[in-house]
A and B are shown apart, each in its own frame.
Chain A
């Protein structure tokens, strides 16, 4: 059975949701990486920290450039089944953690606390030069942070971009998020603790699950009622259930304390 919806409408839904999901996911990861960069740059040396950022971003860009076309070359149904499944497993991790944070069962991500920890660690570490990098400790901490935070973004950019036939569009959303977050970070020279990071993670978890479900089931041969508009229904369903779960867990905690 097929369900008809205008191609233009489908593209608008896909493009807007693609941009929003990649932008939010990238902004969240950029906030976390920016906190580490600010701590290391403040406590030790900005030049080595910035070389670490540039090297990390270069590696991530190469990964997108290599993986994007490679993933896009896989036949669409197989790609959607595989990527949908992995995206769904990945998204369920994000959403579970977001529900646990919202219900008070997991500590909220606190950029001020992370900044203080990183600052203390950076101040007590010994210095060491390696090649053109004057502070090897600062370089490696920043490089690792950028790459580890960025890997999730690379995965989202490549999978969303390949499925929507728009890897460049997904990459642009990621770059804009990085520029916005780092621009604000450089301007205020302080951890971005006022960014609603935990709420953004909740939204990204819901979006990853919705797209993973949609693409995975479509790749397995299912036809969605309403075609691409089913994504919106899935977002509302998963978002609603996740909020209910968070509320129920919170109430149970209050009742037992």
Chain B
């Protein structure tokens, strides 16, 4: 039963997060920073796109290098 629950949780984790956890962490940090800056009155629309470009580049380079 426990193994099945773990398998179920693992499926959904892989479904949403995939094999590169840094992407998930980066997105959460970017949105948190956007929230903080916006609520401090600083324009922050650029924060998420800039982070996405960095995350995409890093993730692609890592995967290409590791050959996965």
Contacts and interface: CB of A to CB of B under 8 A. Distances in A.
A227 to B, nearest CB: 11
Given A85-B31, A217-B34, A237 B49 contact: yes
Contact of B35 (A95, A213, A221, A245): A221
Contacts of A217: 31, 34, 44-45, 47-48
A81 interface: yes
Interface string B19-60: 010011001100110110011000111011100110111011
B49 A103 contact: no
A85 B43 contact: no
A100 interface: yes
A100 B60 contact: yes
A2 to B, nearest CB: 11
Task: Give the most central of B23, B63, B64, B67: most A CB within 10 Å.
Answer: B64
B65 to A, nearest CB: 9
A103 B31 contact: no
Contacts, number: 102
A217 B53 CA distance: 15
Q: Is chain A's interface secondary structure helix, strand, loop, or mixed overall?
A: helix
A247 B32 CA distance: 32
B8 interface: no
A198 to B, nearest CB: 15
B18 interface: yes
Given A88-B52, A89-B16, A90-B16, A222 B60 contact: no
A112 to B, nearest CB: 24
A60 B50 CA distance: 35
Interface of A: 1, 81, 84-86, 88-90, 92-93, 95-96, 99-100, 103, 105-106, 151, 209, 213, 216-217, 219-225, 230, 234, 237-238, 241-242, 245, 249
17 contacts: A84-B31, A85-B27, A85-B31, A89-B16, A89-B18, A89-B24, A92-B55, A96-B23, A99-B56, A213-B48, A217-B48, A221-B35, A222-B47, A223-B43, A225-B45, A238-B56, A245-B60
Interface of B: 15-18, 20, 23-24, 27-28, 31-32, 34-35, 38-39, 43-45, 47-49, 52-53, 55-57, 59-60, 63-64, 67
